[in-house]
Amino acid sequence: MNEYALRIGGETPAPSETMTVTDPSSNEPVSSIALADESDVAAAVTAAESAFQEWRTVDAVTRGDYLRDIAATLRDRKTEIATRHTEETGRSLADSERSVEYAAEYFEYYAGLTHRITGETIPLSGEEFDYTRREPLGVTGHIIPWNSPLLLGSRSIAPALACGNTVVAKPATLAPTSILELGRAAADAGLPDGVLNVVSGRGSTAGEALVTNDDVQELTFTGSKAVGLHIRETVSDRLIPLNLELGGKSPNIVFADADQEAAADGAVKLFSNAGQSCYAGTRLFVADDIYDEFIDRVVARIETMTVDPDPNETDVSALISPSAQSEVDAYVESAREAGGTVRTGGRVPFEEGNFYEPTLIEDVPDDAAVSCEEVFGPVLTAYRFDSEREVVDRANDTEYGLYAGVWTTDLDRANRITRHIEAGTVTVNNYASPTPQVPFPAYKQSGMGSEYATAALRHYTRVKNVRMTVDGTLR
């Protein structure tokens, strides 16, 4: 069994307590993980604060070189890190290798932006001169989710480092090993001690200690709405920047003129990572004129998907835990009770692991739990609609607003619909995954702040204005 220690200021201190990480595909133990307590988190923040004093002065191009070296180290150790990622998440090795590559791309992308963190000059009258600087915040805290830990950790850690901040990362209890591997890769790449610290542990202890530490100058969290709101309330008197990504209930809207083959392919992207994705298109709205034909296409695709205990043989991976499997099954049962029809799937396929069949449910009311709440599993609900106004109103009838998809060959319609959909990102004729170079904003209860792209550079820095009098007399 693999063993992992904390990473604090370049040291790997012996833990006072450990926990076992299990493989969701089998529920067999795969790793032993050090659990940080409050004193460990305090030590990590102190190490990060100490390292910040020098790291903030490192030349921007040199910081970029460090990030490129991290990307190269991740790629050099791709198979090893991907294996750990598969063991903790249940995803296929090929999928995990893609996650390692995506993580490397985040470090490369922000490596190329370190020298673009600039201020501006502001013309003033007379002999006054004004300019702004963008300065790093200090110690940043990153509470990382379990559903795609390496990718989602890298998307915030990379820009934070690029901007001259130091990092304390708290990986998810259910899937901490790939972030601990990232910490090791950064050390192997030569990142100075204390710039990136990793404290695995429970949310109620390590996570809470990070949130309540007054020396943490920014917090990034991806997870549940309840925890996100708790974090916002806890730090409200400190007025520090927050990045909160708190889930979604994303609509995927297919009009009668859409390319049905492409739209059906887009609809079943939901089942990637067993639907455990915040931006998954879980609500499928289909124009009544093509509903039956289109749903047949989607069902045909679903029924070709395999569910297999071997993560390298399955199309639909395991859910993260037995409790997650039970919650998904309860949502499906509640849909049946609400009058919904399970067109395909809808059951636990076998006892081994935490798998659930890819499921499509029809005829369920808009106000049913499965229609309103984030299921976070391989469950797609389908609905008929008649008009643009109707589908926009129904698509927006959710507390979330993270992502949406629109399928139509009518450019005017595409522009009309995207203007009225209440979501941070609206895709047209695809259902593309987020990438480093485009922003990932959230509307409504899906969160606040924005990672990705140059928006992250603004988030992880603050503006200082400098105004001075300059004697313009020639001598």
Residue 473's pLDDT band (boundaries 50, 70, 90)?
confident
Instruction: Please give the average per-residue pLDDT across 91-111, as a whole number.
Output: 96
Instruction: Please give the average per-residue pLDDT across 178-188, as a whole number.
Output: 98
Per DSSP (E only), the strands in 228-358 are: 242-245, 251-254, 283-287, 341-344
Query: Per mean pLDDT, which range of 63-67, 148-152, 451-455 is the poorest?
Result: 451-455
Whether the per-residue pLDDT at 450 is higher than 80: the answer is no
Mean pLDDT, rounded, of the chain: 97
CA distance 167 to 210: 11
The token duo for 23 is 């493989």
Instruction: Please give the average per-residue pLDDT across 250-274, as a whole number.
Output: 97
The answer to whether 102 and 96 are in contact (CB under 8 A) is: no
In a 13 Å sphere around the CA of 412, the CA atoms on its Cβ side amount to 0
pLDDT of residue 453: 92
The answer to whether 413 and 428 are in contact (CB under 8 A) is: no
Residue 129 CB partners (closer than 8 Å, separation 6+): 121, 467, 468, 469, 470
Whether the per-residue pLDDT at 1 is higher than 90: the answer is no
Strand partners, 19: 33
Residue 452's pLDDT band (boundaries 50, 70, 90)?
confident
CA distance 452 to 100: 17
Residue 131's pLDDT band (boundaries 50, 70, 90)?
very high
The token duo for 201 is 């542990």
CA distance 324 to 90: 13
pLDDT of residue 475: 85
pLDDT of residue 151: 97
Instruction: Please give the average per-residue pLDDT across 408-416, as a whole number.
Output: 98
CA distance 204 to 75: 33
Per DSSP (E only), the strands in 51-204 are: 121-122, 128-136, 139-143, 166-170, 196-198
Interval 381-404: pLDDT, tens: 999 999 999 999 999 999 999 999
| Closest C-alpha among 48, 279, 16, 34 to residue 173 | 34
pLDDT of residue 16: 87
Instruction: Please give the average per-residue pLDDT across 118-124, as a whole number.
Output: 95
* Catalytic site includes residue 245: yes
Whether the per-residue pLDDT at 15 is higher than 90: the answer is no
Exposure letters 164-196 (e unless 16+ CB within 10 A, then b): bbbbbbbbbbbbbbbbbbbbbbbbebebbebbb
- Percent share of the chain, pLDDT over 70: 100
Whether the per-residue pLDDT at 113 is higher than 80: the answer is yes
pLDDT of residue 126: 85
Interval 18-76: pLDDT, tens: 999 999 999 999 999 999 999 999 999 999 999 999 999 999 999 999 999 999 999 99
Whether the per-residue pLDDT at 207 is higher than 90: the answer is yes
CA distance 169 to 8: 10
Residue 433's pLDDT band (boundaries 50, 70, 90)?
confident
pLDDT of residue 429: 98
List domains and CATH numbers for the chain.
2-246+446-465 (3.40.605.10), 251-428 (3.40.309.10)
Residue 336's pLDDT band (boundaries 50, 70, 90)?
very high
Catalytic choice (87, 108, 245, 362) = 245
Residue 293's pLDDT band (boundaries 50, 70, 90)?
very high
Instruction: Please give the average per-residue pLDDT across 243-267, as a whole number.
Output: 97
pLDDT of residue 142: 98
CA distance 399 to 395: 11
pTM for the model stands at: 0.96
The answer to whether 324 and 354 are in contact (CB under 8 A) is: yes
The token duo for 424 is 């941070």
CA distance 65 to 291: 53
Residue 472's pLDDT band (boundaries 50, 70, 90)?
confident
pLDDT of residue 5: 97
The answer to whether 39 and 210 are in contact (CB under 8 A) is: no
CA–chain centroid gap for 385, Å, is 31
Residue 267 CB partners (closer than 8 Å, separation 6+): 252, 254, 281, 284, 298, 301, 380, 431
Residue 86's pLDDT band (boundaries 50, 70, 90)?
very high
Instruction: Please give the average per-residue pLDDT across 277-289, as a whole number.
Output: 97
pLDDT of residue 474: 85
